[in-house]
Amino acid sequence: MRFTPKYYFFILSILLIASCSSDDNVDKDEEKPTISVNYNEGFPQGCVLLVKGETYNFRAKVTDNKALASYSIDIHNNFDHHTHDDQVTECDLEDIKQAINPLIFIENYSIEDNLTSYEINTPITIPSDIDAGDYHCAYSVTDQTGWQARTSIDIKIIE
């Protein structure tokens, strides 16, 4: 028996269809994690005044439906009055100014043990030799599949 091109096409089609599988049984993670400072111990709250040289515990609650992977804290100046799309509180801002020695704090942290709920509690000392003024504190949390949530809070650093 001799194979004709239509038999090769038929066998190739069967192999292609058989190699495809449905992933209906796969438990996909389609939810972003959540992050909140809106509770009694959450810190900082909008428009809070932080004093240079003092140490503060930055606290936020993060949750995910599957497993958390990491979080970050980013404190940067807002001397140009930029905004972040999730800011809720509007604070009185100083005049726009040029940064001379601004605080730039960016740190990443791992969350171990496949936790679905975690409270960030990170002590940060505000350096004494930085520019006083308007700043943002931005929290970010990432789950193990890569979904991310962010929130930003207006703060003010004073002498």
pLDDT at residue 89, rounded to an integer? 72
Reduced to 3 states, what is the DSSP secondary structure of residue 8? helix
- Residue pair 47/91 in contact by the 8 Å Cβ criterion: yes
Lowest mean pLDDT among 79-88, 107-116, 120-129, 145-154: 79-88
Closest CA to 35 of 157, 154, 155, 147: 147
pLDDT (tens digit per residue) in 49-91: 999 999 999 999 999 999 999 999 999 999 999 988 776 677 8
- Residue pair 120/58 in contact by the 8 Å Cβ criterion: yes
127: Cα separation from own chain's centroid: 24
Whole-angstrom distance, CA of residue 11 vs CA of residue 126: 69
Q: Which residue ranges form the domains of the chain, and what is each CATH number?
A: 30-158 (2.60.40.2550)
- pTM score above 0.75: yes
pLDDT at residue 20, rounded to an integer? 66
pLDDT at residue 157, rounded to an integer? 98
Judge whether residue 1 has pLDDT over 60. Answer: no
pLDDT (tens digit per residue) in 5-59: 666 667 767 766 766 666 565 778 899 999 999 999 999 999 999 999 999 999 9
- Residue with the two structure tokens 């111990």: 41
The CA-based angle 40-133-159, given to 5 degrees, is: 85
